Structure formats: structure tokens, C-alpha cells
Amino acid sequence: MPLPENVQSLSVSRRGWSGVSVDITEFHCAGRVAHHLCYETETRLSVLLEEVGSHCEPRLRENQPCPIGYMPRHMHFAPAGMEIWGYSADARFVKDATLTFDLAVLGERLAIGFSADAIATPRLRFSDDRIWTLVRLLSNAVDDSDPSTQLYGDGLTAAIVARLFAHPPEAGADGKGLAPWQLRRVVEYLDAHLPKRVDLAHLAELSGLSPSHFSRAFKASTGMAPYRWQLDARIRRAQALLLDTPASLEQVAEATGFADVVHFGRTFRKVIGATPAAWRRDRKS
């Protein structure tokens, strides 16, 4: 099939574990991208692992913006038969993981039953740091030929399934997130002030909450503490500079608010899993 408009190239790595198939897809892009996502006949979870450029979003229709505000490390769950579109106003590089589930095989393998509501209820955009971390570990195992990777992947997929289907969202005051206007105001402020220092008290003031209440609500909405959201935003900006400009590592570190290139390199590797130089080289090769 032809590539979607402004997608210059894509690559897919694929592997299956009992009851779960995993596709890791990397897109190199140059502009607005809107494309119909595959797997429509499958029950699936799609997890955004990396994005450089404008934020990506899942949509129910190509020209209908996602009703749920942006959050880092977001994902969406769709039951079989549901159509989903992917959209970005100006994408440069995107890496995602799509897990498709054979529920009959999983039920037998894990000796559990699945809630009909959990299986049939779509979740268009949500954040779960545990699932994201498990999926990233699984994505690193897709191309690993070591025999022990089979058992490793079996453990990861079991943990993902248990978290996705067996743990409903938390209820109660501490489980409530920010209102859409609060989240939008805070995110816009953080974006406008990157990479400068931002005080928690000021973010709380913008949302009309106490600092402790704001911290809990922000994490409930985004899956991240405020400091981690800001750090991820700085790393995304660094990725854009590495991909789109000839800036040196020292210049990128300075532009994104890191004390020096050593601190930048250490933090980048911790978040992304590769050094800045290696990440740039792999994506430009």
C-alpha cells in the first residue's frame, strides 16, 4: 500500500507471544499526517513510545479532533470493529507499539475471565505509566533472539493484560484529575516556558488548587508528576533539535536547559534508552 501523505518511510518489527501480537512501527515524516490505523478487526492497545514534532492524537474521524486533551505517554484501547485514525499537524518521527489480543487464548493461558465492559469499552486517549513502561520493555524484546526472551515476553504480556483489563480507574478524590480547562492552562504555560524553571506553587495557582491537590490531580490526568512531564517535554524538544538541525550536543543541551552535555546525555539515555548521539545516528541513517 502507498504511504500516507508526508510519511517518508516506515518500518515494522513484529513478534507474537501466546495470545498477544506486537507490532513496533517507526514513522519518518515531514508535515501533516492523517491516516487510518490498521488492526480494525482486532481488539488492540496502541501505545505512543516516541514522538518528535507536533503531538500525535487518536481520532474517531480524520477531521474530528480528539476530545481528550494531550498527555505524554498516551495510549488508546479499541475493541474489535472500531475505526481509529492517527493524526499529527507536523510530525517528524513517531514510534508506537500496537498490541492485538486473542482473548480466548489469553483467557485459557492466564486462567481468568475478562469483564465484558472492559473489552467492549473504548478508551480513546489515556495514560498509565505502568502499562507504558511494560510496553516499552516489551518493544525492546521484539527483535531479541535470545531464547529466554520468550518467557520474558510472556511475563510482560501477562502483566499488561492484567493491568489493562483487571484494574478499573481509581475512584475517590485522589483519583480525580484536572478539569479540561485546568489541564489546558497548565500545559500551555509549561510549553510556553520551556525549558525555564517553573514552580509547583504557580502551576497550582493557575488551576486554582493547593500544591498537594494539584500534584495528585495532574498525575491522575497525565500519568506523570509535574516535574516528569516537564522533563519529558524537554527531551522531546531535544529530539526535534537532534533530528531537524545540525546543532551540536552542547548546543542542544543548552537550548533544553541542561547544565552541561554530560547531564544531558545521562538524562536522555535514562528516558529514551539510548545516548543522544546514537539516537540521532540511528534516525538519520
List pLDDT tens digits, range 77-96. Answer: 999 999 999 999 999 999 99
Q: 277: which 3 cell numbers?
A: 548521539
Give the pLDDT score at 170. 43
**Residues of 90-124 as b/e, b for ≥16 C-beta within 10 angstroms?**
ebbbbbbbbbbbbeeebeebbeeebeeeeeeeebb
Q: How many CB atoms lie within 10 A of CB 5?
A: 12
The answer to whether 150 and 20 have CB atoms below 8 angstroms apart is: no
Give the pLDDT score at 171. 38
Distances (CA, A) of 12 to 15, 23, 205, 216, 266: 10, 6, 44, 37, 28
Give the pLDDT score at 169. 47
CATH 1.10.10.60 domain span(s) along the chain: 174-284
Cα Rg, the chain, nearest whole Å: 19
Give the pLDDT score at 173. 40
CA–CA separation, 123 and 125 (whole Å): 6
CATH 2.60.120.10 domain span(s) along the chain: 7-166
CA–CA separation, 123 and 156 (whole Å): 21
Residue with cell 518467557: 151
User: Is the bond preceding 65 in cis, omega lying within 30 degrees of 0?
Assistant: no
CA nearest neighbour of 7 among 100, 86, 124: 86
Q: Which residues of the chain have pLDDT under 70?
A: 166-175
CA–CA separation, 27 and 44 (whole Å): 19
CA–CA separation, 174 and 2 (whole Å): 47
SS3 state at 280: helix
Give the pLDDT score at 102. 94
Dihedral (Cα; 173, 177, 182, 183), 10-degree rounding: 160
CA–CA separation, 44 and 37 (whole Å): 11
CA nearest neighbour of 283 among 43, 13, 51: 51
What superfamily does domain 7-166 belong to in CATH?
Jelly Rolls (2.60.120.10)
CA–CA separation, 157 and 177 (whole Å): 28
In CATH, the number for domain 174-284 is 1.10.10.60
Give the pLDDT score at 175. 55
Q: 108: which 3 cell numbers?
A: 485459557
Percent of the chain at pLDDT exceeding 70 = 96
CA–CA separation, 17 and 102 (whole Å): 10
Give the pLDDT score at 118. 82
Give the pLDDT score at 180. 86
pTM of the model: 0.76
